[in-house]
């Protein structure tokens, strides 16, 4: 009998911090959410420390690295500021992503091919600090080969176009690109992760690709937890109010 091959789940808790930052107070706490995720099957916790600090703050990353038992995967732009922060906080993994200040979320993969020398320097610094480095790339064989040239340990394939496809034909086309690139990346020695836009409807197909080691999923899990957690949250508040009226 064949043993089932396993697949790992990295839970991205950025949007717990988005909710907190909407009021600039101290809850909900992304670190508390990370611990709940970890207790319920998350294999790693991902956070994106953005240049504009719109959700995750430096102290969140510091606390996460200190308290979580699973791996912390720090997503960040390959800027000098971020590389310095990572080398000092030492998350287990770093995923380098392109970042534009005005974007709502990461919009596409890195142009590794156009920036191999500079990315190699960043990767070298991170690896010297003992951090495993992955590059967020579109499902494009040239970007994947350049990732290996630049010295990355892993790639994270951008699944955004697959997730955002407007019809089954486009989705199948995007799925095939991801599948072929996953195979190619593994064959040249890269660990293959994937993520962006994955939700409760579109994840199973991607997760069945045998070359993929880990999926990083954020928005859909946090969005689902708001709804599934609503029952308890309302019951608890009602109980507090009623028991104050004795
Ligand atoms: N992977 C990377 C590199 C990302 O930038 C993001 C978004 O922060 C994710 C995965 C998770 O995407 P989503 O929130 O759409 O699940």
| SS3 state of residue 214 | strand
d(CA 170, CA 79): 34
125 Cα to the center of ligand 1, angstroms:
24
d(CA 230, CA 220): 16
pLDDT of residue 3: 62
229 Cα to the center of ligand 1, angstroms:
22
> What is the reported pTM?
0.95
pLDDT of residue 125: 98
Burial readout 228-237 (b: 16 or more C-beta within 10 A, e: otherwise): eeeeeeeeee
215 Cα to the center of ligand 1, angstroms:
10
195 Cα to the center of ligand 1, angstroms:
6
* DSSP 8-class letter at 3: P
pLDDT of residue 5: 75
Q: Is the dihedral of CA 159, 160, 163, 165 positive or negative?
A: negative
pLDDT of residue 1: 46
Residues acting as catalytic residues = 48, 75, 196
Pocket-testing residue among 19, 46, 203, ligand 1, by greatest number of atoms within 8 A of Cβ: 46
Question: Whats the size of the chain, residue-wise?
Answer: 246
- Residue 45, both tokens: 């916790």
Q: Which atom of ligand 1 is nearest to the CA of 95?
A: 3
Ligand 1 pocket, Cβ-based, cut-off 6 angstroms: 12, 14, 48, 75, 95, 97, 105-106, 136, 156, 195-198, 216-220
Give the start-end residues of each E strand in 25-153. Answer: 44-48, 71-76, 93-96, 132-137
Q: Which atom of ligand 1 is nearest to the CA of 48?
A: 8
Cβ(184)–Cβ(153) under 8 Å? no
Show the low-confidence residues of the chain (pLDDT under 70).
Answer: 1-3
DSSP assignment of 204-223, as one string?
HHHHT-TTEEEEEE-HHHHH
Q: Which atom of ligand 1 is nearest to the CA of 198?
A: 16
d(CA 142, CA 174): 16
Cβ(211)–Cβ(185) under 8 Å? yes
Q: Which atom of ligand 1 is nearest to the CA of 163?
A: 15
């Amino acid at each position: 009998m064949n043993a089932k091959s396993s697949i790992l789940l990295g839970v991205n808790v950025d949007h717990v911090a988005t909710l907190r930052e909407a009021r600039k107070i101290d809850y909900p706490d992304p670190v508390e959410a990370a611990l709940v995720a970890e207790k319920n099957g998350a294999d790693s916790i991902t956070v994106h420390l953005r240049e504009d600090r719109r959700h995750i703050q430096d102290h969140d990353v510091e606390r996460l690295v200190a308290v979580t038992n699973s791996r912390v995967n720090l997503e960040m732009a390959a800027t000098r500021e971020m590389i310095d922060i990572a080398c000092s906080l030492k998350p287990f993994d770093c995923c380098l992503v392109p970042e534009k200040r005005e974007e709502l979320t990461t919009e596409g993969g890195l142009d590794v091919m156009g920036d191999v020398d500079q990315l190699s320097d960043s990767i070298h610094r991170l690896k010297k600090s003992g951090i495993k480095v992955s590059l967020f790339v579109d499902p494009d064989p040239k970007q994947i080969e350049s990732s290996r040239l630049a010295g990355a340990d892993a790639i994270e394939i951008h699944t955004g176009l697959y997730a955002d496809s407007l019809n089954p034909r486009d989705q199948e086309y995007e799925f095939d690109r991801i599948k072929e690139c996953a195979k190619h990346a593994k064959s040249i020695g890269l660990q293959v992760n994937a993520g962006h836009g994955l939700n409760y409807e579109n994840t199973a197909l991607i997760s069945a690709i045998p070359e993929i080691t880990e999926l990083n999923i954020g928005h859909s899990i946090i969005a689902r937890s708001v709804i599934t957690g609503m029952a308890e949250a309302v019951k608890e508040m009602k109980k507090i109010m009623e028991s104050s009226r004795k």
